[in-house]
Amino acid sequence: MAPLWRLVPGLTGAGLGLAWAGAALAQSAPVELRYATSAPPKTVWEMQVLRFQKQVEDASKGSLKINAFLNSQLGSEQDTVAQVARGRIDAGGYSVTAGSLLVPEISLLNIPFLFKDQTEQDCVTDKHLTKITSDLFVKKGVVFIGWSEVGVADIIGKKPYVSPDDLKGLRARSAPSKVAGYMWSQFGANPNPLPVTEWNSAFQTGLIDVADSAPTFYFFSGLSKLAPVVTMTQHQDQGGVVLVNKAAFDKLSEDHKKALTDTGTLTPAAQLRAEVRGFEAKIREMHKAAGGTIVELTPQQRTVWRKGIEAAWPKMIEAVGGEANAYWKAIQDGIKACSA
């Protein structure tokens, strides 16, 4: 797996990606940033990337340009997020899962069934986690620009999974984080961390039997034909993060920095989420029209899933390490404040 311009990985470029011309041309030549994204074409994510490009270009009066590469052309999230930290790629929009490879603490946001609903999650994330998240990323040499949205995760496979017991003994694609691995293990499956670029072949070869995915990626990546049954566990609503290599960001002019950061005001995280979530309902209908299956859980069945994973939450926090306890406290304080 990561606006959705923020979801998507990587502004790449040589020499921190700032395409400076020679000294004589420095006043006239635009700065160009290469932007890598895992967003499939013809999706809400692509629309958001194109809008981001235009906002940056308009705000900078053409002096800063985003050259976007869709569909993981510049590498998987796992590959490119590491290159952002090293300074080989300027920036990118990533899923929380990919971002957690740099800051493991944010993987706590992916704890299954953590939030009561999306309203609670959005409130906690926006109002109570932005500063602590930004501080953690700065320690890794990257600047946190803002939040975005990947989508609600459901379990996908070739049959329904209405009970946690249905996963026992299966080979599961796991996101590359300890939290994700614990989820599958708690339910008796064998987790296998794989980048999104390998999911399709893994299903085809039998390397995995089951996975979890957001509808937007699931349908447009071709997974819906290989794993045609969606069980709507909705166990996780995965957000995204926008990251910029600090050295690259510091080299930008103040006007160019503002052109990038102001996109969060022009298109706030709330709008990005609404666009993705609205599209997800349409995707489910498209999936059914194409012959796929959607299995909805009863409230009682979903309660069984949640109770089955709550016991693993303390182990997940401990496994994350670092400043996980402080981040978990911030999440819990946010939940209390947002429910007041």
Q: What is the pLDDT of residues 299-317, one digit of tens each?
A: 899 899 999 999 889 988 9
Q: What is the pLDDT of residues 176-217, one digit of tens each?
A: 878 888 899 999 999 999 988 899 999 999 999 999 998 988
Tell me the whole-structure pTM to 2 decimals: 0.81
In the chain, the amino acid numbered 45 is: W
Q: What is the pLDDT of residue 27?
A: 56
- Tell me the pLDDT band of 15, cut-offs 50, 70 and 90: very low
- Name the strand (E) or helix (H) holding 152: strand 142-157
The DSSP secondary-structure symbol of 18 reads -
Q: Which long-range contacts (CB under 8 A, 24 or more apart) does 178-182 make?
A: 178/104, 178/107, 178/316, 178/319, 178/320, 179/100, 179/107, 179/108, 179/110, 179/111, 179/316, 179/319, 179/320, 180/97, 180/107, 180/110, 182/312, 182/315, 182/316, 182/319
> Which domains does the chain carry?
4-338 (3.40.190.170)
Q: What is the pLDDT of residues 47-66, one digit of tens each?
A: 988 898 899 899 999 998 88
